[in-house]
């Protein structure tokens, strides 16, 4: 509120300040007619940012900190999109109404004619003595009794059609069977795995895809080793690691964990041994504590804090208004990308997995924090094989083995030194990122 006031005092048009984590805010600017006006407003905001202080509830003054989000020239696109949906909706409704109108008059006219026909014909029969008054009254009241249910039936048929269209969708989801399930003869392995991961000539294609995304992948990660996977975007890194917890099954070849084909294991036992921090971080609408200890109510507060420290998240969490009890919203709204990644890393570690898989988990954190994370990953107090997808040489440099994936194939593999000596893709990456001739 205070910050919004300060900003409005500077005549910034229609800005809303929304709370974001500790004392950071995001501002959305809108209602600017030209880019120049907007740029002027941004300049003013930058001035405010460097020269103003906000008073917090406790009476402290802190420099204003906020980030800006603005979109220029996207309004037309959004309006067009909205228009298209609205037009489609109204057209469908019109069509329904027209169909209804073209039948409704006939049905109603026919229905309303019936009592007149009844009266005329019945009257004639009574006059001719073919029908007594009593019989006529009984007959006509029976007709009335039948008429209403008949009408209702029409409405019900209408509702039924709508219901069956909707229920078909619900049923489809309700009765869908997961394709990947335990085999009846799946092995029972209720122990902690050693953490060996092996790919044997693995090829893979998505069911709805038209091309294989992985070709003939073979490598071994021995217990305790760190394997780094690098490669251009879309080369198949995420697809590759998803085969380990058996989210998908290879189309050819085998994925082995502790020398056993993952297809022969019980899914719960396999996945219990794997800690996975996905590329697209999903936080639950829960406290930070609940997000880290997700699904494990036996995890103590101290342990949660320990894992937060490992993932270099402890510092920013304790700075938040309610510390570990801060609720983070739907998909982690209110946290920055790097903060979300660190919570997701803490969650993956909290399983104390035998196999830790990190999919680009430190891409949004700064170099210094990344260094801390790397240090603590080397000091974990449980044995763990690490498979790390990363873009930065600083992350992959100390791995026992680096795999370079190009178009779904392993094009280079070896240690940092070996790959640099090879003068291939990795070598050029090193040059690009360090700016040095190596
Ligand atoms: P990244 O995360 O941008 O660095 O890229 P990668 O290396 O993780 O790429 P990945 O494994 O997500 O995608 C490899 C290829 O597979 C790419 O051409 C997109 C395609 N692909 C990914 N997910 C799916 C999916 O669910 N269905 C289909 N049909 N194709 C997918
Ligand atoms: Mg990926």
CB-count exposure of residue 165 (10 Å: 0-12, 13-18, 19+): exposed
Which tokens sit at 154?
């029409």
SS3 label, residue 434: helix
% of the chain with per-residue pLDDT over 70 = 86
Instruction: Please answer whether residues 299 and 219 qualify as being in contact, where contact means their C-beta atoms are separated by less than 8 angstroms.
Output: no
Q: Name the pLDDT band for 21 (thresholds 50, 70, 90).
A: very low
pLDDT at 162: 83
User: Long-range contacts for 266-270 (Cβ within 8 Å, ≥24 apart)?
Assistant: 266/182, 266/186, 266/187, 266/188, 266/189, 267/180, 267/181, 267/182, 269/188, 269/189, 269/190, 270/245, 270/246
pLDDT at 237: 94
* pLDDT mean over 401-419: 94
The closest alpha carbon to 353, from 310, 317, 312, 390, belongs to 310
* pLDDT mean over 378-406: 92
Instruction: Please answer whether residues 284 and 294 qualify as being in contact, where contact means their C-beta atoms are separated by less than 8 angstroms.
Output: yes
Residue 206 CA to ligand 1 centre (angstroms) = 9
Residue 253 CA to ligand 1 centre (angstroms) = 19
Atom of ligand 1 nearest to the CA of 207: 29
Q: Which ligand minimizes its atom distance to the CA of 359? A: 2
Q: Which residue has the tokens 């989210």?
A: 247
Cα-flanking dihedrals φ and ψ of residue 131, to 5°? Answer: -140, 140
pLDDT at 330: 67
Who contacts 248 (Cβ-Cβ below 8 Å, separation ≥6)?
A: 180, 204, 206, 239, 242
Atom of ligand 1 nearest to the CA of 242: 11
* pLDDT mean over 200-212: 92
For residue 151, is pLDDT > 50?
yes
Q: Tell me 60's DSSP state.
A: -
For residue 384, is pLDDT > 70?
yes
* pLDDT mean over 139-166: 86
CB-count exposure of residue 127 (10 Å: 0-12, 13-18, 19+): exposed
pTM of the predicted structure, to 2 decimals: 0.69
Q: For 82-120, what is each residue's pLDDT tens digit?
A: 889 999 999 999 998 999 899 889 988 988 888 899 899
pLDDT at 220: 96
For residue 252, is pLDDT > 70?
yes
Output the ligand 1 site: residues, CB below 6 A.
206, 208-209, 213, 231, 233-239, 279
The closest alpha carbon to 311, from 342, 288, 339, belongs to 342
Q: For 357-374, what is each residue's pLDDT tens digit?
A: 999 998 888 888 888 899
Which residue's CA is minimally distant from atom 29 of ligand 1? 209
CA diameter of the chain: 118
Using left for φ > 0, alpha for ψ between -120 and 50, and beta otherwise, residue 31 falls in left
Residue 159 CA to ligand 1 centre (angstroms) = 43
Higher pLDDT, 138 or 53: 138
Structure-derived torsion over alpha carbons of residues 404, 234, 370, 395, reported in degrees to the nearest 10:
0
Instruction: Please answer whether residues 241 and 248 qualify as being in contact, where contact means their C-beta atoms are separated by less than 8 angstroms.
Output: no
For residue 141, is pLDDT > 50?
yes
Give the H or E element holding residue 215: strand 214-221
Higher pLDDT, 114 or 384: 384
Q: For 273-322, what is each residue's pLDDT tens digit?
A: 999 998 888 888 888 888 898 877 788 888 899 999 999 988 888 888 88
Atom of ligand 1 nearest to the CA of 408: 14
Which tokens sit at 330?
């739907």
Which tokens sit at 122?
């019945």
Which residue's CA is minimally distant from atom 10 of ligand 1? 236
> What single string gives the DSSP state of each residue in 383-399?
--EEEEE-S-HHHHTT-
For residue 42, is pLDDT > 80?
no
The closest alpha carbon to 54, from 97, 77, 24, 74, belongs to 24
For residue 212, is pLDDT > 60?
yes
pLDDT at 130: 92
Who contacts 278 (Cβ-Cβ below 8 Å, separation ≥6)?
A: 344, 359
pLDDT at 197: 96
Q: Which ligand minimizes its atom distance to the CA of 403? A: 1
Ligand 1, from 215, 232, 239: best to mutate by most atoms within 8 Å of Cβ? 239
For helices 301-310 and 367-378, angle between their N-to-C axes, nearest 10 degrees: 120
Distance from C-alpha of 283 to C-alpha of 339, rounded to nearest angstrom: 11
Instruction: Please answer whether residues 41 and 10 qualify as being in contact, where contact means their C-beta atoms are separated by less than 8 angstroms.
Output: no
* pLDDT mean over 17-43: 66
Q: Which ligand minimizes its atom distance to the CA of 204? A: 1
């Amino acid at each position: 509120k205070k910050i919004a006031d300060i900003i409005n005092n500077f005549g910034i048009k229609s800005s809303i300040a929304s709370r974001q984590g500790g004392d950071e805010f995001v501002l959305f600017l809108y209602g600017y007619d030209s880019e120049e006006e907007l740029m002027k407003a941004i300049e003013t905001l930058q001035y405010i940012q460097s020269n103003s202080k906000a008073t917090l509830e406790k009476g402290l003054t802190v420099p204003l900190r906020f980030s800006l989000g603005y979109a220029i020239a996207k309004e037309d696109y959004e309006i067009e999109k909205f228009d298209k949906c609205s037009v489609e909706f109204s057209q469908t409704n019109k069509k329904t109404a027209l169909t209804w109108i073209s039948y409704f008059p006939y049905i109603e006219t026919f229905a309303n004619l019936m009592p007149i026909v009844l009266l005329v014909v019945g009257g004639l029969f009574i006059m001719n003595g073919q029908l007594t008054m009593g019989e006529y009254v009984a007959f006509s009241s029976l007709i009335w009794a039948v008429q209403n249910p008949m009408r209702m039936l029409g409405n019900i048929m209408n509702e039924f059609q709508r219901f069956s269209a909707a229920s078909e969708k619900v049923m489809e989801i309700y009765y869908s069977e997961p394709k990947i399930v335990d085999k009846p003869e799946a092995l029972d392995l209720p122990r902690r795995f050693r953490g060996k991961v092996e790919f044997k000539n693995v090829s893979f294609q998505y069911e709805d895809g038209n091309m294989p995304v992985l070709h003939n992948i073979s490598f071994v990660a021995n217990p305790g080793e760190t394997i780094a996977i690098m490669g251009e975007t879309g080369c198949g890194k995420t697809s590759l690691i998803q085969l380990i917890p058996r989210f998908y099954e290879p189309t050819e070849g085998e994925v082995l964990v502790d020398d056993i084909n993952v297809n022969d294991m019980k899914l719960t036992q396999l996945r219990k041994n794997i800690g996975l921090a996905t590329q697209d971080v999903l936080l639950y609408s829960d406290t930070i504590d609940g997000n880290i200890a997700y699904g494990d109510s036996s995890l103590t507060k101290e342990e949660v804090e320990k894992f937060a420290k490992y993932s270099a998240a402890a510092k920013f969490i304790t700075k938040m208004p309610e510390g570990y009890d801060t609720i983070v919203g739907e998909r982690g709204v209110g946290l920055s990308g790097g903060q979300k990644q660190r919570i997701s890393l803490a969650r993956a570690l909290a399983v104390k997995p035998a196999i830790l898989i990190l999919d680009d988990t430190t891409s949004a954190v700064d170099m210094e924090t990344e260094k801390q994370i790397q240090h603590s990953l080397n000091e974990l107090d449980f044995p763990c094989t690490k498979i790390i997808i990363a873009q930065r040489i600083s992350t992959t440099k100390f791995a026992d083995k680096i795999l370079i994936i190009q178009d779904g194939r392993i094009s280079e593999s070896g240690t940092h030194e070996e790959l640099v000596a090879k003068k291939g893709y990795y070598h050029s990456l090193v040059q690009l990122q360090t700016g040095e001739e190596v």
